[in-house]
Structure 1
């Protein structure tokens, strides 16, 4: 076990390099984890394509990306007390310091120190057979929750946090823009939280994703390049507009459209990272007493709650795994990322590393 296969970002250009690298050695407060399942996140696609937004990684190259993963502990440092070899875990995106102002005021998911050691972006992540992580960076994976489900906990933390922040009321009309993994999981949590009519919006390229949205609880699905979405939403709501809209496309030009589709006192929740500045007309927003908010990541309590929920075998908890349409070997990474770019998959996991 001296070397392992890993996907490495070696330079600021297209692609990742598959190569043999040394197996890392855990420090006294770290564990060595054998990766069992890891998801390809949209941010990983940006890193693969080198399409902008991750220039901070240049000074850290070569680096192993990957941050949505679960695995089994194979070795522990001498100061580790909570875990032992053989334990199943989900690996957190970052390790919070517990000391900064965000940690001290209950916003641990925005830890200013933790953002300096994000898995797969500022330190080696999980696109490899093995990885090391701080003891506090691991959460126990219940025996009845699969490794594949465990690899979805990170995006579930993002989407459950978004739905919780929206403070949905039973019967609310919900619109989700963007039927990718984040949009679909947001739909799932909205349904689980008592949403009424649910509308999913994609494009004509999203046929399979919109079909899955219907299977996961959407009452209506529309393609924005073939119909007037605002007209459809107003028709469905008798001219009142949606109570809550989740924007999960990353297209800043759509934010104004979202505000125009909201009811008075409605809420717009932006889950995406945007590459361009949005220009907004705000008079109706102000006079309608609407709310627009951003949401980002999810704290450690969110992770533990999600894992308890998955272990409960709740009806909606079982829906999330449907977003996984492909599993592949890390040796097939170029093909996997090509499927991501062509929207031929929804969520793809690497589950084999040899």
Structure 2
């Protein structure tokens, strides 16, 4: 194994450069993963454009790879062997708090970089911290004893496993947070990687009607939504979205709305409130709404609507996502639309942000592409 590691480092807003780092030393309770695939999502686009701090960062928080070197205590603790393919969650747990004991590492205060300056989280942590390789835009990644790790099933390739993070988010938000189950009528707003993952989750759960909305430029995504199990797709720019939703539900409306339109403003929320059935529907929202001056609270209370928020995934959701991938029941490989090498990080992030390329759903960075 080489003594140096090549990584793409964010050095300023919208700027990366390739740097060589010394390979971290591994003790009895740490390990090194050879990164095969690092997925890129909308959060990376935001963090790239407006970094929360000025330290150099190796981005990449959706990471699949092979265990290349590990100490004996690390292997015993995680039940792994060198050569195993693994998925590493981006949360580095404390394993002491109630949230960690529940497998809800996203809620552990020690993983929150906003409130804990010493937090370790892959894709968010300064490369100047001990261990250095705290992100997947690198040939190797450092794993401390408290990394959260899942073994990838042997019949799942690295490329397919690359979508486990959005799929686990879809399962978490649709099935666990919203509680969608058999015979549910569901409106999914936004056919990106999260929305399409929710189509799969809802279909697997037995939803009787799945409606997906998007815009004209989402034509290819809407077609894929139908292939993955959507019953009806709606172009909100050319169709009458509420009319089409009511037609599809015989005038009743849906039981659940899953909003995956981060950055689209308040219109999807208003449509969701109108599309929900007359009593006790549920709306799940992820993303940010900077301002909502005329929020229809009266209509919300009259219809007894429950609003929930979505953030990240649990350990359980990741395990369910890996099992879903291993089943090969759905053509989930079609979510992976673009791949880039380590020297193309800038273009890869801009592709996710819609600045370059077309029909982008999920982008994978392959750190060893073009490398020896």
Fold-level match, TM-score > 0.5? yes
Q: Please, which of 96, 113, 123 is the counterpart of residue 120 of structure 1?
A: 123
Q: Which residue of 2 aligns with 1:21?
A: 21
The aligned counterpart of 1:294 is 309
C-alpha displacement at 1:47, in angstroms? 2.2
Q: Deviations over 1:18-56 (max 9, x none)?
A: 333333333442210000111111111222233xxx52x
Which residue number corresponds to residue 144 of structure 2? 134
- Which position in structure 2 is the counterpart of 1:327? 339
**1:89 aligned residue (86, 98, 113):** 86
- Within the alignment, does 1:5 sit opposite 2:6 as a pair? yes
**Structure 1: 5+ residue runs without aligned partners?**
none
- Alignment-derived partner of residue 205 in structure 1: 217
Asked whether the equivalents of residues 16 and 48 of structure 1 are also in contact (C-alpha less than 8 Å), the reply is no
Aligned with 2:91: secondary structure?
Answer: coil
Q: TM-score, normalised by structure 2?
A: 0.86
Among candidates 96, 101, 108, match of residue 99 of structure 1: 96
Query: Contact 1:109/1:300 (CA < 8 Å) preserved in 2?
Result: no
Q: Deviations 1:105-131 (Å, cap 9, x if unpaired)?
A: 664431111333221013521111001
Consecutive unaligned residues of structure 2, counting only runs of 5 or more, are: 113-118, 127-133
Structure 2 Cα separation of the partners of residues 137 and 107 of structure 1 = 11
Q: Distance in 1 between matches of 2:173 and 2:181?
A: 14
Structure 2: how far apart are the matches of 1:137 and 1:278?
37
Distance change >3 Å, CA 103–CA 131, structure 1 → 2:
closer
Question: Match for residue 37 of structure 1?
Answer: 37
- Residues 117-176 of structure 1: CA distance to partner in whole angstroms, max 9, x if unpaired? 221013521111001112442221121111122222222221101112222232222111
In the alignment of these two chains, the number of paired residues is: 343
Preserved CA contact (<8 Å) 1:24 1:130: no
Change (3 A) 1:339 1:153: same
> Alignment partner for residue 221 of structure 1, among 230, 233, 237?
233
Asked if the contact 2:232/2:248 (under 8 Å) is kept, the reply is no
User: Over aligned residues, Cα RMSD in angstroms?
Assistant: 2.0
2:18, 2:143 → 1: CA distance? 21
Bigger Cα displacement from structure 2, 36-45 vs 302-311: 302-311
The residue number in structure 2 matching 1:267 is 282
